[in-house]
């Protein structure tokens, strides 16, 4: 008799996250403590519960631009190596405590250079924090593997530097490149030299596309940036009618099984869809698209890997089959080495679900 699919059983299920922003996942208490430590006075409150609510409400405005403004506070306290490391360490611990066994966590290192840190110093602080958090989690019996994705901000011009940092740090846990920030007006092929740096090194990349912007942004991510995965990519559903044939790009994304890093709560918050019930995650999954379920910004959306799966499962009637499928798909789409993915699949993911489903 399989365990019932609940928040509690899902929290015990081994989970894989491909799309989680470090600066969108701080603990409210940590934001407050670090603001005090670095002398940042911009927070709306110093009560952790109130601050957590404030982030969710500010992010709930229905606009991607306003949603991104909430990051001014988290990034303000991430300007020193020790504060960046603390945030990264706590991220690894929080994900592990939620039952995540493999995560790719992303951050734009240029956001931590306002007080003079070099990109490399930011990356080293990140890696130190993830390593410390992963070691503590393993010692507590919750092992997790964390890979880092380095984002370049679309509206800025540091893409080449970030791409070079991805290549330089890839033996130290950096697994790939991403473009983050406003999609409109900043297409993923705007700075071809950065993409060429990745191409020459055979470096992985996932690109935010098909979130605020539509089909054209997905096309540009695939053709212009040679994205291996799509950050959200959910607007591919614009070419997936409820009844009728798929559009040409949707057919390609399906045929090539391009992983879609879908974060349903975040999409509802930014106004891409009015509700989880109206979100196309179910339709895409049912048609066999390589749907994965992600958190995006745990602090701003008030979610976890567990809660996101629980909400999708409850809204769309998902079974353990569905949950295991999106988990195995996410692992297959991960940028970690083949050996790491194979070990996690055989030793952690499959036995974990077998235990819950027997």
Which residues are known to be catalytic? 211
Which residue's structure tokens are 């070099």?
Answer: 118
Residue 295 in contact with residue 16, Cβ under 8 Å? no
Residue 39 in contact with residue 79, Cβ under 8 Å? no
Contacts of 189 (CB under 8 A, 6+ apart): 195, 220, 223, 224, 225
Tokens of 212: 């605020």
Q: Provide the CA 285 distance to its chain's centre, in angstroms.
A: 18
Dihedrals φ, ψ of 134, to 5°?
A: -65, -40
Rounded CA gap, 242 and 225, in Å? 29
- Return the number of the residue (30 or 297) whose C-beta is nearest Zn ion: 297
| Residue 294 CB, nearest approach to Zn ion (Å) | 8
Dihedrals φ, ψ of 246, to 5°?
A: -70, 150
Number of residues that bind Zn ion (CB under 5 A): 1
| Residue 241 CB, nearest approach to Zn ion (Å) | 26
- Return the number of the residue (104 or 296) whose C-beta is nearest Zn ion: 296
Query: By rule CB under 5 A, what string of x and - marks binding of each residue 289-308 to Zn ion?
Result: -------x------------
Rounded CA gap, 209 and 217, in Å? 5
| Residue 208 CB, nearest approach to Zn ion (Å) | 6
Show contacts with Zn ion in window 303-342 (CB under 5 A): none
Query: By rule CB under 5 A, what string of x and - marks binding of each residue 190-219 to Zn ion?
Result: ------------------------------
Show contacts with Zn ion in window 241-300 (CB under 5 A): 296
Show contacts with Zn ion in window 101-120 (CB under 5 A): none
Q: In the chain, what is the straight-line distance between the N-terminal and C-terminal CA atoms, in Å?
A: 6
- Return the number of the residue (98 or 296) whose C-beta is nearest Zn ion: 296
- Return the number of the residue (20 or 311) whose C-beta is nearest Zn ion: 20
| Residue 88 CB, nearest approach to Zn ion (Å) | 17
Under the rule (CB under 5 A), what is the footprint of Zn ion? 296
């Amino acid at each position: 008799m399989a365990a019932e699919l609940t928040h509690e059983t899902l929290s015990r299920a081994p989970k894989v996250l491909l799309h989680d922003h470090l600066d969108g996942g701080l603990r409210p208490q940590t934001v407050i403590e670090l603001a005090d430590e670095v002398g940042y006075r911009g927070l709306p409150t110093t009560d952790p519960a109130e601050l957590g609510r404030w982030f969710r409400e500010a992010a709930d405005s229905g606009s991607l631009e306003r949603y991104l403004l909430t990051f001014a506070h988290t990034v303000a306290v991430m300007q020193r190596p020790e504060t960046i490391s603390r945030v990264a360490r706590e991220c690894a611990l929080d994900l592990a405590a939620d039952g995540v066994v493999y995560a790719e966590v992303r951050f734009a290192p240029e956001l931590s250079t306002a007080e003079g840190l070099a990109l490399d110093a930011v990356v080293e602080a990140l890696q130190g924090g993830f390593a410390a958090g992963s070691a503590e989690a393993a010692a507590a019996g919750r092992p997790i593997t964390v890979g880092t994705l380095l984002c370049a901000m679309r509206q800025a011009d540091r893409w080449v530097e970030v791409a070079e940092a991805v290549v330089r740090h890839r033996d130290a846990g950096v697994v790939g490149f991403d473009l983050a920030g406003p999609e409109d007006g900043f297409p993923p092929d705007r700075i071809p030299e950065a993409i060429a740096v990745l191409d020459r090194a055979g470096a992985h990349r996932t690109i935010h596309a098909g979130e605020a912007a539509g089909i054209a942004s997905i096309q540009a991510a695939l053709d212009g940036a040679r994205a291996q995965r799509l950050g959200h990519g959910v607007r591919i559903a614009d070419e997936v009618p409820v009844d009728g044939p798929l559009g040409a790009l949707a057919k390609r994304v399906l045929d090539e099984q391009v992983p879609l890093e879908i974060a349903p709560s975040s999409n509802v918050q930014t106004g891409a869809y009015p509700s989880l019930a109206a979100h196309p995650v179910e339709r895409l999954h049912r048609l066999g698209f390589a749907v994965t379920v992600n958190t995006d910004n745990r602090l701003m959306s008030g979610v976890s890997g567990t809660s996101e799966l629980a909400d999708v499962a409850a809204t769309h009637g998902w079974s353990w089959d569905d949950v295991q499928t999106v988990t195995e798909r996410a692992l297959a789409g991960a940028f970690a080495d083949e050996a790491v993915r194979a070990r996690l699949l055989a030793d952690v993911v499959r036995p974990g679900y077998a235990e819950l489903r027997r």
